[in-house]
A and B are shown apart, each in its own frame.
Chain A
């Protein structure tokens, strides 16, 4: 593979090496745990060893008397001080219109613990070691209770996780047109049925979560430094719900953050705990998770059990899709949890196909496991997995080539904009072209020869497809509101010219690996004609940035980037007026290109840096019409979701002796709309694909089904993808510009993960010649499939 070299600057479309790299490469990044405050104390959180137990009492005396201990707080202490419940941001309704069950989620458990790792108490001491030593001295009197663990067994189990939901059902929701779907099934020539499990994942961003709470009694001001993807949202929830503080007294900072993948969106108990303790003690309090705590108490992802049916006519045209899913929400409702298996899942069930009738029902259940929320892709990989799996099984049953069955059912470009039967309107995309390009890249024609060659070496070779679509650019606020969102989903930016011509851009989104400091600067540099080294992107500090909703759902560019564009438009519009004044022309005659204002038809020009100078030193300035200064803010609320889409194809080889699956080729053709920095986009695809591969082959969160103990509680037992588990990727983009935003961008952060797992599993099943096996396709699971495939009784 050859590719263009990177450059140090450039506009849209350039492979600009990242601005942020130097500090990370030289050890000068500044992550939360790197920060220490004068007088800082350390918090150690005592976590529940039980999946489900009643707290009959907590004896703090020995811990309080331990060396270095400053304070011990329990749930009762926080409740007495009026600390509120961690809120859920999305209201979902039962089929009958009644609201979901919403039990309280206190930052420290009050009467019961509900999962292993649930927060029980916090010890604050002069050193972390002292806090941890003292935490061992806390004497908690637990009355152990039976635990509800398995997703499929939770509804109606004998034990209730919460009194508010005696049957453990948070909601039983439906989407789509049931009657129309039943009609479609009634006239079907063939129905393909499939049961599948979408395995539970632990996000495992490499930086463990951390938080520092500070309180300044003189000013009555609070600061929370936290590993968050959305510091402004955390401030909103901290002020509006948990701590009940006025927002002008609270600053939330998310400095360099070491990956998120969804797990750092949510308002976590520890954020409340450190702010609460800092206020009580009037000293900074820091908490940093040990990795084992991350395993137990970060929000997990996926965890669905699904039955799906696809109705087709004789020619395998899709007539209807029927889906029934049970989704595990864990012990408490995390911030976005309720919308993931509903709004971000069922709305995507049309996939890339013109299936006319779709109906889905989703039962969400409480269990004695860690909360489950968005993990990279969030609902959309689950939708893609079931669609792309059932399409493959259908092709097998109907004896049709798997590329052909997709092509036959694709929504074609001439059908855009296309309203799906599950509530979305796709604006653009060329699905057949993505498939064709991917087929060419992988040499689909040559596959049978490769399969036979592999067989000679004793390997089972298989090929798999995933044609995915996702809804990103989250989200039009009015649409989200109608669907149950309790907040708006716009974003914001402020573009501030400084008097000598450099620019600071303050954004409401947050970068934790995505490279915003580079991508955004490319856009700003090009549009304002300012060199990249004079553009600074500021994010992650509620005192410096306008109110924005943060980064998740591949929204930063499509929503946050558009806010920057709008703010730049305001800067340019004002600058035109200043230019008109300085060039003694009328505003209508001023033309703007790449940082230069020209009087139309003349050679009279002025640069935007000079305009900025004039705006801040307004000696020759239209002061009667214009305010001095050049500093504009914009909020952008998207008109629609964006719809990144593409086709991935991979080839695997299975060692029949051991069941080990090796990915030997992986091709991804993606349509992300306009690409700002191809280097960064490719990196996002690679990373996303490996998280998809991880789910398909390696990763699996396992709780003991009886005790609720977490069996995969460290990297010793939870398989993270390593360098030698994955191949090089062949990545291509097809730019079909998004029609609903001016940048034409769709988003690329999750794409790899959306299709990755389905693509790999389709290849594994193809290699094995079986309709389905569940993820992860571990060597033993694959070996067993091979064994049972060889016995006649198991023939399907």
Chain B
């Protein structure tokens, strides 16, 4: 690890201020990606602004027809939350399948979606449930948030404070994990929401994406058979030694069917 300064932020305002004017500074949430990156000397930040001391960034609450998850809420806390399990069990199940137990004990939802790893699980939830990302300065809807490979709509120094998930009628998430890293080779969130059916895929492409053809089919008939035969084009999918684009395209169909099944319970 290269050397850097360390600042414990006392509040959201303090955190944002600590990064202002320093493009080399970065936020430290759970650190499950950042710390390994630093260890491999793949990043050289000037200052780490630790968010763990900001009490109001962590926690889960119900607000009307939505579940609001504070940015510093760990995956383990989302997975174990009675509120989440009651309202969006698919979200709890997704959180319970991220990484391993120790990653879930430290990793946070805000850190995960800010990092926008193409193989992370949360992007499928944000996009699939039509969530809103709340930051220190605005609200960003799911469609606009993930802009590319490790890229988001966040501005320099903008801090995610919470993610607001509208409670769907039903939802299911199923992933095909990489046998080595346990990241998603393909993960699919299917949700029947007040605004229609949503199908979001992570792992398969450079960023999470929706599959409209499946959404249309499921809107007509919310059963696994409905997505049978709906293919995702392989040409824009990831292709690596762990899974070819063709195989990933196939898995999108399989995981989508299983996610519908999971949503049906």
Task: Tell me the A residues contacting B by CB distance below 8 Å.
Answer: 129, 136, 657-658, 698, 702, 711-712, 715-720, 725, 778-780, 783-784
Q: Within the assembled complex, what's the spacing in Å between the Cα atoms of A129 and B2?
A: 9
Q: Which of A657, A698, A712 has the most CB of B within 10 A?
A: A657
Q: Which of B122-130, B195-203, B246-254 contacts A (4 or more CB under 8 A)?
A: B246-254
Nearest Cβ in chain A — how far from B188, in angstroms? Answer: 13
Is B194 positioned at the interface, with any CB of A under 8 Å from its CB?
A: no
B residues within 8 A CB of A716?
180-181
- Interface contact A658-B241, CB-CB below 8 Å: no
B residues within 8 A CB of A657?
254
Q: Mark B1-45, 1 if CB is under 8 A from A, else 0.
A: 100000000000000000000000000000000000000010000
**Ordered nearest first, which 3 A-B pairs have the shortest CB separation?**
A719-B180, A716-B181, A780-B247
A residues within 8 A CB of B176?
658, 779
Q: Within the assembled complex, what's the spacing in Å between the Cα atoms of A779 and B241?
A: 12
**SS of B interface (majority):** loop
- Interface contact A780-B179, CB-CB below 8 Å: no
When A702-B241, A780-B243 are in contact, do A715 and B180 touch as well, CB less than 8 Å?
Answer: yes
Nearest Cβ in chain B — how far from A640, in angstroms? Answer: 42
A residues within 8 A CB of B225?
none
- Interface contact A725-B242, CB-CB below 8 Å: no
Number of A-B contacts (CB under 8 A): 34
B residues within 8 A CB of A711?
241
Nearest Cβ in chain A — how far from B41, in angstroms? Answer: 8
Task: Tell me the B residues contacting A by CB distance below 8 Å.
Answer: 1, 41, 176, 179-181, 241-244, 247, 250-251, 254
- Interface contact A725-B180, CB-CB below 8 Å: no
When A658-B254, A783-B250 are in contact, do A719 and B244 touch as well, CB less than 8 Å?
Answer: no
Q: Within the assembled complex, what's the spacing in Å between the Cα atoms of A717 and B243?
A: 12
- Interface contact A720-B180, CB-CB below 8 Å: yes
Nearest Cβ in chain A — how far from B261, in angstroms? Answer: 12
- Interface contact A717-B241, CB-CB below 8 Å: yes
**SS of A interface (majority):** loop
> What is the chain A residue whose CB lies nearest that of B176?
A658
Q: Within the assembled complex, what's the spacing in Å between the Cα atoms of A725 and B1?
A: 33
When A702-B241, A780-B243, A780-B247 are in contact, do A717 and B180 touch as well, CB less than 8 Å?
Answer: yes
Q: Within the assembled complex, what's the spacing in Å between the Cα atoms of A711 and B251?
A: 23
> What is the chain B residue whose CB lies nearest that of A720?
B180
B residues within 8 A CB of A717?
180-181, 241-242
When A657-B254, A702-B241 are in contact, do A725 and B179 touch as well, CB less than 8 Å?
Answer: yes
- Interface contact A698-B179, CB-CB below 8 Å: yes
B residues within 8 A CB of A702?
241
Q: Please, could you name 8 A-B residue pairs with CB atoms under 8 Å apart, sorted by A?
A: A129-B1, A658-B176, A719-B179, A779-B179, A779-B247, A780-B243, A780-B247, A783-B250
Nearest Cβ in chain A — how far from B155, in angstroms? Answer: 30
Q: Within the assembled complex, what's the spacing in Å between the Cα atoms of A286 and B124?
A: 46
A residues within 8 A CB of B1?
129
> What is the chain A residue whose CB lies nearest that of B248?
A780
Q: Within the assembled complex, what's the spacing in Å between the Cα atoms of A351 and B250?
A: 41
> What is the chain A residue whose CB lies nearest that of B250?
A783
B residues within 8 A CB of A129?
1
> What is the chain A residue whose CB lies nearest that of B258?
A657
Q: Within the assembled complex, what's the spacing in Å between the Cα atoms of A702 and B241?
A: 9
Q: Within the assembled complex, what's the spacing in Å between the Cα atoms of A156 and B247?
A: 36
Given contacts A780-B243, A783-B247, 11 further A-B contacts (CB under 8 A): A136-B41, A657-B254, A658-B254, A698-B179, A698-B180, A702-B241, A716-B181, A717-B242, A720-B180, A779-B179, A780-B244
Q: Within the assembled complex, what's the spacing in Å between the Cα atoms of A784 and B243?
A: 11
- Interface contact A658-B251, CB-CB below 8 Å: yes
Q: Within the assembled complex, what's the spacing in Å between the Cα atoms of A702 and B242?
A: 11
Q: Within the assembled complex, what's the spacing in Å between the Cα atoms of A717 and B180?
A: 6
B residues within 8 A CB of A778?
179
A residues within 8 A CB of B179?
698, 719, 725, 778-779
Nearest Cβ in chain A — how far from B172, in angstroms? Answer: 16
Nearest Cβ in chain B — how far from A373, in angstroms? Answer: 24
> What is the chain A residue whose CB lies nearest that of B243?
A780
Nearest Cβ in chain A — how far from B23, in angstroms? Answer: 23
A residues within 8 A CB of B251?
658
A residues within 8 A CB of B250?
783
Q: Within the assembled complex, what's the spacing in Å between the Cα atoms of A597 and B179?
A: 61
Q: Which of A720, A725, A780 has the most CB of B within 10 A?
A: A780
Nearest Cβ in chain B — how far from A613, in angstroms? Answer: 55
> What is the chain B residue whose CB lies nearest that of A781?
B247
A residues within 8 A CB of B180?
698, 715-720
B residues within 8 A CB of A715?
180-181
B residues within 8 A CB of A719?
179-180
Q: Within the assembled complex, what's the spacing in Å between the Cα atoms of A698 and B182?
A: 13
Q: Within the assembled complex, what's the spacing in Å between the Cα atoms of A136 and B42?
A: 13
> What is the chain A residue whose CB lies nearest that of B36?
A716
B residues within 8 A CB of A780?
243-244, 247
> What is the chain B residue whose CB lies nearest that of A719?
B180
Q: Which of B1, B181, B247 has the most CB of A within 10 A?
A: B247
A residues within 8 A CB of B242?
717
Q: Within the assembled complex, what's the spacing in Å between the Cα atoms of A712 and B181?
A: 11
A residues within 8 A CB of B241?
702, 711-712, 717
> What is the chain A residue whose CB lies nearest that of B247?
A780
Q: Within the assembled complex, what's the spacing in Å between the Cα atoms of A725 and B182?
A: 12
> What is the chain B residue whose CB lies nearest that of A787?
B250
Q: Within the assembled complex, what's the spacing in Å between the Cα atoms of A715 and B250?
A: 26
Q: Within the assembled complex, what's the spacing in Å between the Cα atoms of A718 and B244?
A: 17
B residues within 8 A CB of A658?
176, 251, 254
Nearest Cβ in chain B — how far from A44, in angstroms? Answer: 12
